């Protein structure tokens, strides 16, 4: 099929979504409430979700590989979690006071990841990374934060630098130039270059913030020694290492990716999975640093770092959903065995399909996360956000759109896919078969 055919097919089956989208444009800038949720010609509107499926207002049912921004490791509305949440709903949704559920979730995280010596809950990952930066500056008395080119840490102003290609350009209006002077960017997986940049800012370097696997930038795994090299520099320089585990925390095993890479971050952030499908963020780490946020100690503004929480922080619905999700994951390590295996099968089989179809592509990822990149003259392998930016994004969007419109397989166009416990071995088969059909076998020359 030609791309125009897919477009017509989609339009033909999403008429109600189109109407809702045009109404939404009158109310919301761009018609959406998260920048990445728009794709051409308009997004379908979801009516409900269950297990591995999204159902739109037009009656279409999609096999969902987006899984709520990769947060839903147990799939949509898992029965047991919903049951527990329904009970909690009757006991209150927002206390605005200290509560035992938050302690239970906090203690569980601390047991799973002992480096979470202290934890502060908030309601989004963006808040968590903002607090981590503020704590790092408080603890070190230094100002500059080094982040990865293309690294995504949410919409907090401090880190809204070098996120999208071209990385040198401002991310948009409303960002004050002076703030940009306190953020430097490093190229993922190029340790030599990164260390040079770090050396040039070492006197004022408060922290390096890095995702163990670049998620939003394109599902890129670190080369052996890269993360360790950044950590070594931070330690020698009395700067902090902040690991942003908002995607990776509890994704590959019951704990953080820091175990897999043998990292010892001073601070780290969690989100997504630990909220069990409800809004959450958490900044965690060394007690001596986190205690700077202890507002109960008599002191004054010169000795204390105000990192807050917020109206909805540690609300009982999120705490309940998060705690019960972690409990389920802890009790059933087979969840990880299964979803990691599904990811591996998918990466291997998709790679074979592209080879058979004579399509130059690389399938990146680890465990239950994966993403297809189409290569070209500019990029022959994917190691950094820049490589992803220079790869054939048009072909990727066309592929994702074809899967959605004809095969009812949903990836947020241009973003990586994730498996959840709701998936089974039929799902990679379905994806692989659909991919083969999209690219129709072209015999190898």
By rule CB under 6 A, what count of residues binds ligand PLP? 16
Q: Using the minimum distance from each CB to ligand PLP, give the nearer residue, 23 or 34.
A: 34
153 touches ligand PLP (CB under 6 A): yes
Min dist CB 127 to ligand PLP, Å, is: 7
120 touches ligand PLP (CB under 6 A): no
> What is the CA angle 97-243-380, rounded to 5?
140
Min dist CB 251 to ligand PLP, Å, is: 11
Mark the segment that binds ligand PLP (CB under 6 A) among 76-84, 150-158, 300-308, 410-418: 150-158
Which of 56, 211, 387, 408 touches ligand PLP (CB under 6 A)?
211
Min dist CB 149 to ligand PLP, Å, is: 14
User: Cα separation of 120 and 100, whole Å?
Assistant: 14
User: By C-alpha distance, which of 193, 190, 171 is closest to 180?
Assistant: 171
Min dist CB 104 to ligand PLP, Å, is: 22
Mark the segment that binds ligand PLP (CB under 6 A) among 86-94, 113-121, 243-251, 421-429: 243-251
Q: Using the minimum distance from each CB to ligand PLP, give the nearer residue, 14 or 248.
A: 248
List the alpha helices (DSSP H) in 28-122. Answer: 67-70, 79-91, 100-112
Min dist CB 9 to ligand PLP, Å, is: 30
User: By C-alpha distance, which of 392, 368, 365 is closest to 379?
Assistant: 392
422 touches ligand PLP (CB under 6 A): no
User: Cα separation of 282 and 184, whole Å?
Assistant: 24
Q: Using CB atoms, what's the residue nearest to ligand PLP?
A: 125
Contact by Cβ (8 Å): 188, 162: no
- Mutual angle of helices 3-13 and 15-27, in 10-degree steps: 80
SS3 labels along 230-292: HHHHHHHCCCEEEEECCCCCCCCCCCCHHHHCCCCCCEEEEEHHHHCCCCCEEEEECHHHHHH
Q: Using the minimum distance from each CB to ligand PLP, give the nearer residue, 129 or 383.
A: 129
User: Cα separation of 328 and 171, whole Å?
Assistant: 40
244 touches ligand PLP (CB under 6 A): yes
Tell which positions 303-362 bind ligand PLP, by CB under 6 A: none
Contact by Cβ (8 Å): 396, 374: yes
Mark the segment that binds ligand PLP (CB under 6 A) among 122-130, 311-319, 402-410, 436-444: 122-130
Min dist CB 126 to ligand PLP, Å, is: 3
Min dist CB 216 to ligand PLP, Å, is: 5
Q: Using the minimum distance from each CB to ligand PLP, give the nearer residue, 263 or 402.
A: 263
Partner residues linked to 45 by β-bridges: none
Min dist CB 210 to ligand PLP, Å, is: 10
162 touches ligand PLP (CB under 6 A): no
Min dist CB 160 to ligand PLP, Å, is: 11
Min dist CB 354 to ligand PLP, Å, is: 26
Q: Using the minimum distance from each CB to ligand PLP, give the nearer residue, 276 or 281.
A: 281
Write the DSSP assignment of 408-429 as a string of letters.
-EE--TTS-EE--TT--THHHH
Neighbouring residues of 93: CB distance < 8 A, sequence distance ≥ 6: 315, 316, 317
Cis amide prior to 41 (ω within 30 degrees): yes
User: Cα separation of 95 and 73, whole Å?
Assistant: 27
User: Cα separation of 3 and 41, whole Å?
Assistant: 12
Q: Using the minimum distance from each CB to ligand PLP, give the nearer residue, 280 or 409.
A: 280
Contact by Cβ (8 Å): 115, 255: no
Which of 17, 88, 126, 189 touches ligand PLP (CB under 6 A)?
126
Which of 215, 322, 413, 428 touches ligand PLP (CB under 6 A)?
215
247 touches ligand PLP (CB under 6 A): yes
**In 10 A of CB 364, how many CB atoms?**
22
Instruction: Give the binding site for ligand PLP (CB under 6 A).
Output: 69, 124-126, 129, 152-154, 211, 215-216, 244, 246-247, 271, 281
């Amino acid at each position: 099929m030609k791309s125009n055919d897919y477009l017509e097919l989609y339009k033909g089956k999403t008429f109600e979504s189109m109407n809702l989208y045009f109404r939404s444009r009158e109310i919301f800038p761009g018609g959406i409430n998260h920048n990445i949720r728009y794709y051409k010609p308009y997004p379908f509107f979801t009516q409900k979700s269950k297990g591995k499926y999204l159902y739109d207002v037009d009656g279409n049912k999609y096999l969902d590989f987006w899984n709520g921004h990769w947060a839903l490791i147990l799939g949509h509305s898992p029965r047991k979690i919903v049951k527990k949440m329904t009970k909690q709903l009757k006991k209150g949704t927002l206390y605005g006071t200290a509560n035992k559920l938050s302690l239970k979730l906090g203690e569980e995280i601390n047991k799973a990841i002992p480096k979470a010596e202290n934890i502060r809950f908030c309601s989004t990952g963006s808040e968590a990374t903002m607090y981590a930066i503020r704590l790092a500056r408080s603890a070190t008395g230094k100002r500059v934060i080094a982040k990865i080119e293309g690294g995504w840490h949410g919409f907090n102003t401090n880190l809204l630098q070098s996120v999208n290609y071209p990385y040198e350009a401002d991310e948009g209006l409303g960002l004050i130039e002076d703030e940009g002077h306190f953020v430097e960017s490093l190229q993922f997986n190029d340790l030599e270059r990164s260390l040079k940049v770090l050396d040039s800012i070492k006197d004022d370097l408060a922290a390096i913030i890095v995702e163990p696997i670049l998620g939003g930038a394109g599902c890129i795994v670190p080369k052996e020694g890269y993360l360790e090299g950044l950590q070594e520099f931070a330690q020698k320089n009395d700067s902090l290492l902040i690991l942003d585990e908002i995607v990776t925390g509890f994704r590959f095993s019951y704990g953080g990716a820091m175990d897999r890479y043998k990292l010892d971050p001073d601070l780290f952030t969690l989100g997504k999975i630990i909220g069990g499908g409800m809004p959450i963020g958490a900044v965690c780490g060394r007690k001596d640093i986190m205690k700077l946020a202890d507002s109960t100690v008599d002191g004054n503004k010169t000795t204390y770092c105000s990192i807050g929480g917020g109206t909805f922080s540690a609300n009982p619905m999120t705490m309940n959903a998060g705690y019960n999700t972690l409990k389920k994951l802890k009790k059933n390590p087979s969840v990880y065995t299964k979803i990691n295996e599904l990811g591996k099968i998918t990466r291997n089989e998709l790679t074979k399909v592209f080879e058979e179809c004579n399509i130059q592509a690389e399938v990146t990822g680890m465990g239950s996360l994966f993403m297809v990149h189409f290569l070209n003259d500019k990029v022959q392998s994917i190691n950094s956000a820049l490589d992803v930016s220079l790869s054939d994004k048009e072909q990727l969007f066309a592929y994702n759109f074809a899967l959605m419109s004809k095969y009812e397989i949903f990836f947020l166009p241009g973003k990586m896919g994730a498996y959840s416990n709701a998936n089974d071995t039929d799902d990679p088969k379905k994806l692989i078969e659909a991919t083969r059909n999209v690219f129709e076998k072209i015999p190898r020359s």
